[in-house]
Structure 1
Amino acid sequence: MHPRGGTLDHMQPTDFLARHGGVARLAHLRRAGFTRGQIGRAVDSGIMQNPRHGIYRLPQANENFVRAYEANAAVTCISAAEHYALWTLRTPGQPHLAACHRRLEGRVLPHRFSGNISTLHPPVLPLKDVLVHALQCLPELEALVMVECAFGRGDIDLDFLRRLLPGTRNGRASAVLDLVERGSDSLLETVARVLFRRHGFEVRTQVYLAGIGYVDFLLNGCLIVEIDGVGFHLSKPQFKKDIRRNNVGAATGYRVLRYLYEDVLHRPEEMLAQIRLTLATPPRMPC
């Protein structure tokens, strides 16, 4: 039996580890076809490490994966977001791990899981379980952006998630699912949409306006709001396009406001107050 994507003549145990987060169990290496002699030589050379019986890693291995293997656990919740390329509002301070036992150390945030973890490689729970844990564990908006990212890509079905969250004890998680929509291009748009609706604005998302194109938000039928991410205006052609869109919007009777990452996530009250003021202020008299 040969490792995927190569043969034993060409692939080393270190190559196999590099393809799987930098860490694996002995059983994974043996199942891939490597002999104990090959594994031992890689350790003796110093390229591969054997920090605990049955576990082999590279120095640059994903530390959450290493910790999961050492604890007979799996990465889940927000700690698994990077693996599935899901949106997140923050980097977790502690790893979120799931296990079927209660012996997880105090430096992790534990989650319960009744399935077979030992076969997972890399040690990450399936997406459905990761999202269920996020919905049960994280603050509302943090869980929402993860679920909405997966839903928008077509990776998960909301009704399926609801069936995994039965009963009143999952009421908070179900309420987050009620907020999920398609159409957001970024987590900022998701957060902004929830903020706008909760503060009483009439919100339309991804609206096509003649001569302008699609805009992120149209509030109360007259105010265009665009949300710009971290990479805003790094492209000169995009910068020119945005200026033209703003000018066309203003020339055709719309007001236009643009907000950045910091405004949505760190200064939302200032953003909301400015929007209220803009909507409440009548246009100036003609010159």
Structure 2
Amino acid sequence: MLPADFLTGQGGVARLAHLRRAGFTRAQIDHAVDSGLILKHRHGVYRLPQADPDFIRAYELNAAVTCVSAAGHYALWTIRAPDRPHLAASHRRLPAGPLAHRISGNVSTLLPPVLPLKDVLVHCLQCLPELEALVMVECAYNRGETDPDFLRRLLPGARNGRARAVLDLVERGSDSLLETVARVLFRRHGFDVRTQVYLEGIGYVDFLINGCLIVEIDGVGFHLNKPQFKKDIRRNNVGAATGYRVLRYLYEDVLHRPDEMLEQIRLALATPPRTSC
């Protein structure tokens, strides 16, 4: 393995100490720099041209990537990308650009420069709006990587009351962040919501509302998956033929037009079925 290969597996950037611990000699590192395969970013830091900019910034500031900026590293759901890096440091010398989080201990040994998942989730619960924090935590919980009770113990005291309230919303079963957001919206608007319900002849549906209305949530790739598209049309037809009403919503409806979506559901529940055709 070459130094460039090692950096590729670490987000494109690492300290000299990391390269040396990986077994590379100074001669090998210097040769990679002279050959243009890697760049010497600053004293003791080496990177690839395409290195993750948040990782570079973290090494520059003796900090670590955390909160929503670490979501990509852990493949967590996010509603929107951060407009600036979220960095954690044990010192108070972070400049005005990054959004600063506090952490105790030495982060200089981290490779890549990302906090452990538990710290990332604690920071997102303390920092982000409710639904943005919820989808990150619920993604990790559904994969068995964390537990709300464990996170709750890391968030003591009155100042963490809002963060613990988000944990009260966490459930298993959502297949996407859209289902998580929709579930919270539906329940807060007084609907009787059951999730991932199996209906004979139809299969599992995302939501069954008030026992009679099927609501399905389709992600951004819905229309590109032709086999799934055909399957869902057949499921809709079976549902309608067996007496259920069926509504389908897209990414834009859940995240950008929730009031319109909720009003349509209210109308569907309030309107009696036609008695003749």
Q: TM-score, normalised by structure 2?
A: 0.99
| Match among 73, 83, 89 for residue 83 of structure 1 | 73
Q: Cα deviation per residue 1:113-137 (whole Å; 9 max; x = unaligned)?
A: 0022011000000000000000000
Q: How does 1:171-190 map to 2 (within 5 A)?
A: 171-190=161-180
Q: Would you say 1:156 and 2:149 are equivalent positions? A: no
1:93 pairs with one of 83, 91, 97: 83
**Counterpart of 1:103?**
93
AA paired with 1:196? F
Counting only pairs closer than 5 Å after superposition, residues 24-63 of structure 1 correspond to structure 2 as 24-63=14-53
Instruction: State the Cα deviation string for residues 226-256 of structure 1 (Å, max 9, x = none).
Output: 0000010322221221111111111111100
State the 4+ residue runs in structure 1 displaced beyond 6 angstroms: none
Say what the alpha-carbon RMSD is for the aligned residues: 0.8
What secondary structure does 2:72 align onto?
coil
In structure 1, the partner of 2:64 is 74
Q: In structure 2, how many angstroms separate the alpha carbons of the residues matched to 1:46 and 1:208?
A: 57
Equivalents in 2 of 1:239, 1:24: separation in Å? 44
1:96, 1:107 → 2: CA distance?
Answer: 9
- Structure 2 gap ranges (5+): none
Q: Does 1:202 align with 2:192?
A: yes
Code of the residue aligned with 2:95 in structure 1: it is E
2:255 match: 265
Counterpart selection for 1:218 from 208, 219, 234: 208
- Report deviation, 1:43: 1.2
**Percent identity at matched positions?**
82
Match of 1:238 in 2: 228
Q: Which has the higher helix share?
A: 2
Do structure 1's residue 120 and structure 2's residue 106 form an aligned pair?
A: no
If the length of structure 1 is used for normalisation, what is the TM-score?
Answer: 0.95
2:146 is paired with a residue whose SS is coil
Residue of structure 1 in register with 2:181 after alignment = 191
Matches of 2:191 and 2:65, distance apart in 1: 39
Unaligned runs of 5+ in 1: 1-10
Offset at 1:274? Answer: 0.5
Aligned residues: 277
